[in-house]
A and B are shown apart, each in its own frame.
Chain A
């Protein structure tokens, strides 16, 4: 096989035009004029003597003119040759890696075609223009980015089948991870049974700034540049821009429930934040509120240019169980972010588990949560000893208080970790039995993968974030005269209700013993809600996975006493501020319980099931399609895990017919992607070429980028030279003849 081909093979049909000079010649002879002539003898004599010269001249001119047309047609067909500078070498097939931007901004559509579809067609065009021996890989930019065709496909048809079957996800885009996958594909191509040494990487994207110019998922601009440069050292890298200039968009960027937990017959307040990402005001925009898919209220709002507004809706649930609420905007060119959903679990009562490390450790907490057990309040408590913790099923509880528990085992840690992963709230009260070193070791920082099953995270570079169930490291015990509490300007939600209520007893609460809590530097989300003494943290909170953890530096009961003096660690449990503090701690801790039913696109959803429950479930996707879900034993009991949340919307997990325990999950887009501002092309390294269309790329000689020699310039130069030659020859022959 020779390293020769044409970029535009269809143009070769015009080679038939090479017959035109001959046809014109014949046509001229056929369309000659006639004239009577007397001096025929002289004509005949002249012809006789000049026949050979005339024939030669005619053939020469005919050949030159035919050649001109041939060269022009060949030039238009864009021929190329590998290594033109040397001898013709065997053809070196090219490995084409396509990095397709699958972030949801690619769903933008001003026409009947989304940017994602346009990108797909562009890739198909490039594949169609490929040559025998080429191989193709496909990487989808998403969260996480995925290699769709990782081992280079030699069959264009198979590759296009994969491409056609690709569904646009609704997630963000991790370009850096996608570039890593592209480089991995190049490595596979070079190491495979039929190695390919020549590579082209086509990044087909809308060049959205949030993907290309801002830090995302820990990726920095420097990482992106480094990755691109690294890739460019191994392949020709071409960014094909399929984006839309000056695109505007409006989106529901947030939807939250004001109440930390919902119970029946209690009003629930939903607040949606709607943002206009365009420079034009959007007056009278319709905002619709839906509950369980049914519209309940509709409003018209004026969306300011480049601004946000909040819209609140109130609804009272009459039935306990799984519900969903949706706030929906009138459709615009990017519909993916026009709706936002929240899934809720409306309860009859809130269930709180109290784990007592010592008899009486949870008595005051129980009283604070449910002062009158004989009446049905909004909170139902259950108290167990720390010994029973390992055998207690936590899934039935919205919050777990662990008071003065001496230590935890690894199994208990896994249990608590799993609980937080499902959105549960953990509250630690310390006490005289606590072994801080064990707390720090067992509950402290540990690689998330150490004790967890697969995270469903990017398989490329598992994040090495260390998961700690404690918001702070427990230091030494501080003892002394009564220290008082400092609400730190009431900034934290737990103490915020005390603002303006200085007489509520919070400021006068005496604390005699507490552990000094040290928040590790850089611990994300850790906040001090309340300080004690000389500014040591008294209450520290932190989000842990989907749940929240609250660590209180002192005891939650009067049962923790100074062994020497018998004095309780604190009089707080008996102080007026204790009841509201505990209530607020619960409210804060269970806020994460909503997270259990809500996820962002790409984040897996999971749920434990009761032992003996059906092993096969069904997931009804937002599009109406279904997936089968298998319940598996995770080591912590049966549970299901579903990672196919690449689309936003409501997912319903239903049991086989006859069982009425459907559960709804809301999956929302990451609103960061809704800002359609485009990146500055200058962010691309010099080695990367930017093209707005495939056609432009073709005309601008991608071959130059990959060592191919395009011949059309030479051909056009030759044609031009022949035109001049033709003119000169015609002039010269005419001059000789006349």
Chain B
């Protein structure tokens, strides 16, 4: 990975680049430059034929017996292998609009960059990707498609998003679980400032529909650490009340409360066999992508 590409993966640098498409491309280019294989693969398991290995293919599908006989690398191709369908669920509630004093992007901007990058990656390997934006309701739905031109539509939807309402993840996840006909990977980008139990119930519904679920929990560094030193009037987003307090005297208690919340979410996700990733918005994108895709 070149130095230039590396630096471009820093949210602070990337925030200076206008346009989600360009941002996504830079992220992916920077990420792919250091990637050895494609992270996504299909779901079919019936073998059909071999094809010659090309760099980037998943080594899990290498046919070692053929290699033993022919001394050449071949991949096993599976019958009825369908394209991967990736559902990107983007929380566009008001709380996602938050950006801490030292952050380069809002949580929503960061989530959009990540989502766009993943969409770009998926489309590059001729898989399908769809997008749903939601807050208290489902706002926009872009059906999955593998057409490279589909990316433009995804990006357009993301860029036109307005974050100004409350979150209600539970009912929405139930609704979407019913609407996603094909099995796929459901990736949720949200700060999850909502009813945790309802949210987990929604995840359970996804799993019931045999989707793979990945939760990308986005939080600003300020939300994690409450770094303020002066008496501050915290103006509640999503119709929450304003709170005037001295954050110094409350930091430890706040962090304790937040930690309990994070543990509850992480534990709940594990219970639902969903991948859970806490991603601070000051984290470089390559690190975030690697974290998200390593397990895949």
A residues lining the B interface (CB < 8 Å): 28-29, 32-47, 49-50, 54, 57-58, 733-734, 736-738
Chain B binding surface, main DSSP class = mixed
Given contacts A38-B98, A40-B237, contact A50 B230 (CB under 8 A): no
Interface string of B220-234 (1 = CB under 8 A from A): 000100001011111
Which residue in A36, A46, A57, A58 is a CB contact (below 8 Å) of B253? A46
Instruction: Apart from A32-B232, A33-B232, list 12 A-B contacts with CB within 8 A.
Output: A32-B231, A37-B236, A37-B243, A39-B258, A40-B241, A42-B261, A43-B250, A46-B253, A47-B253, A736-B252, A737-B248, A737-B253
Which residue in A42, A58, A738 is a CB contact (below 8 Å) of B257? A42
Instruction: List the 8 closest A-B pairs by CB distance, nearest first.
Output: A38-B95, A46-B253, A37-B234, A40-B240, A42-B257, A40-B236, A32-B231, A46-B254
Contacts of B234 in A (CB 8 A): 35-37, 40, 43
Contacts of B241 in A (CB 8 A): 40, 44
The minimal Cβ–Cβ distance linking A71 to chain B, given in whole angstroms, is: 26
Given contacts A54-B250, A738-B252, contact A41 B240 (CB under 8 A): yes
Docked Cα-Cα span, A35 to B101, in Å, equals: 9
The minimal Cβ–Cβ distance linking A283 to chain B, given in whole angstroms, is: 75
Contacts of A734 in B (CB 8 A): 248-249
Which residue in A29, A34, A37, A57 is a CB contact (below 8 Å) of B249? A57
Please determine whether B254 and A733 come into contact, CB atoms closer than 8 angstroms: no
The minimal Cβ–Cβ distance linking A151 to chain B, given in whole angstroms, is: 66
The minimal Cβ–Cβ distance linking B177 to chain A, given in whole angstroms, is: 26
| Residue of A whose beta carbon sits closest to that of B228 | A35
Contacts of A42 in B (CB 8 A): 254, 257-258, 261
The minimal Cβ–Cβ distance linking B45 to chain A, given in whole angstroms, is: 43
Docked Cα-Cα span, A737 to B246, in Å, equals: 10
Interface string of B73-117 (1 = CB under 8 A from A): 000000000000000000000111110010000000000000000
Q: How many residues of chain B are within 8 Å of chain A by beta carbon?
A: 36
Docked Cα-Cα span, A23 to B198, in Å, equals: 47
- Interface membership of B290, Cβ < 8 A: no
- Interface membership of B180, Cβ < 8 A: no
Contacts of A736 in B (CB 8 A): 252
Given contacts A45-B257, A46-B250, A49-B253, contact A29 B231 (CB under 8 A): yes
B residues lining the A interface (CB < 8 Å): 94-98, 101, 191, 193, 223, 228, 230-238, 240-241, 243-246, 248-254, 256-258, 261
Docked Cα-Cα span, A75 to B148, in Å, equals: 82
Please determine whether B251 and A737 come into contact, CB atoms closer than 8 angstroms: yes
Contacts of A47 in B (CB 8 A): 243, 245, 250, 253
Please determine whether B232 and A737 come into contact, CB atoms closer than 8 angstroms: no
Contacts of B257 in A (CB 8 A): 42, 45-46
Please determine whether A34 and B231 come into contact, CB atoms closer than 8 angstroms: no
Contacts of B238 in A (CB 8 A): 38
Please determine whether B193 and A39 come into contact, CB atoms closer than 8 angstroms: yes
The minimal Cβ–Cβ distance linking B234 to chain A, given in whole angstroms, is: 4
- Offer 26 A-B interface pairs, CB within 8 angstroms, sorted by A: A28-B231, A32-B231, A33-B232, A33-B233, A36-B97, A36-B235, A38-B94, A38-B96, A38-B98, A39-B95, A39-B258, A40-B237, A40-B241, A41-B193, A43-B250, A44-B241, A46-B256, A46-B257, A49-B253, A54-B246, A57-B249, A58-B249, A733-B249, A734-B248, A738-B248, A738-B251
Docked Cα-Cα span, A216 to B180, in Å, equals: 124
Please determine whether B250 and A33 come into contact, CB atoms closer than 8 angstroms: no
Which residue in B232, B240, B245, B258 is a CB contact (below 8 Å) of A34? B232
The minimal Cβ–Cβ distance linking A657 to chain B, given in whole angstroms, is: 91
Given contacts A43-B245, A737-B251, A738-B251, contact A33 B236 (CB under 8 A): no
Contacts of B237 in A (CB 8 A): 36-38, 40
Given contacts A32-B233, A737-B248, contact A38 B253 (CB under 8 A): no
Given contacts A45-B257, A46-B256, A47-B245, contact A35 B250 (CB under 8 A): no
| Residue of B whose beta carbon sits closest to that of A49 | B253
Which residue in A28, A36, A43 is a CB contact (below 8 Å) of B254? A43
The minimal Cβ–Cβ distance linking A733 to chain B, given in whole angstroms, is: 7
Please determine whether B223 and A39 come into contact, CB atoms closer than 8 angstroms: yes
| Residue of A whose beta carbon sits closest to that of B258 | A42
The minimal Cβ–Cβ distance linking A503 to chain B, given in whole angstroms, is: 118
Please determine whether A35 and B223 come into contact, CB atoms closer than 8 angstroms: no
| Residue of A whose beta carbon sits closest to that of B100 | A35
Which residue in A33, A40, A49, A50 is a CB contact (below 8 Å) of B243? A40
Docked Cα-Cα span, A29 to B245, in Å, equals: 8
The minimal Cβ–Cβ distance linking B171 to chain A, given in whole angstroms, is: 19
Docked Cα-Cα span, A35 to B250, in Å, equals: 16
The minimal Cβ–Cβ distance linking A640 to chain B, given in whole angstroms, is: 89
Docked Cα-Cα span, A46 to B237, in Å, equals: 18
Which residue in B228, B233, B249 is a CB contact (below 8 Å) of A54? B249
Please determine whether A33 and B230 come into contact, CB atoms closer than 8 angstroms: yes
Please determine whether B243 and A29 come into contact, CB atoms closer than 8 angstroms: no
| Residue of A whose beta carbon sits closest to that of B224 | A39
Please determine whether B248 and A50 come into contact, CB atoms closer than 8 angstroms: no
The minimal Cβ–Cβ distance linking A659 to chain B, given in whole angstroms, is: 96
Contacts of A28 in B (CB 8 A): 230-231
Please determine whether B233 and A50 come into contact, CB atoms closer than 8 angstroms: no
Docked Cα-Cα span, A29 to B249, in Å, equals: 14
Contacts of B244 in A (CB 8 A): 29, 32
Please determine whether B249 and A737 come into contact, CB atoms closer than 8 angstroms: yes
Contacts of B251 in A (CB 8 A): 737-738
Docked Cα-Cα span, A737 to B96, in Å, equals: 27
Please determine whether A35 and B235 come into contact, CB atoms closer than 8 angstroms: yes
Contacts of B96 in A (CB 8 A): 38
Contacts of A34 in B (CB 8 A): 232-233, 235
Docked Cα-Cα span, A39 to B93, in Å, equals: 13
The minimal Cβ–Cβ distance linking A720 to chain B, given in whole angstroms, is: 26
Docked Cα-Cα span, A29 to B232, in Å, equals: 8
Contacts of B101 in A (CB 8 A): 35
Which residue in A38, A50, A54 is a CB contact (below 8 Å) of B223? A38
| Residue of B whose beta carbon sits closest to that of A45 | B257
Docked Cα-Cα span, A49 to B249, in Å, equals: 12
The minimal Cβ–Cβ distance linking B252 to chain A, given in whole angstroms, is: 5
Docked Cα-Cα span, A738 to B258, in Å, equals: 14
The minimal Cβ–Cβ distance linking B203 to chain A, given in whole angstroms, is: 20
Contacts of B236 in A (CB 8 A): 37, 40
Docked Cα-Cα span, A115 to B242, in Å, equals: 71
The minimal Cβ–Cβ distance linking A737 to chain B, given in whole angstroms, is: 4
Please determine whether A43 and B252 come into contact, CB atoms closer than 8 angstroms: no
| Residue of B whose beta carbon sits closest to that of A735 | B252
Among A44, A58, A734, the most chain B Cβ lie within 10 Å of the Cβ of A44
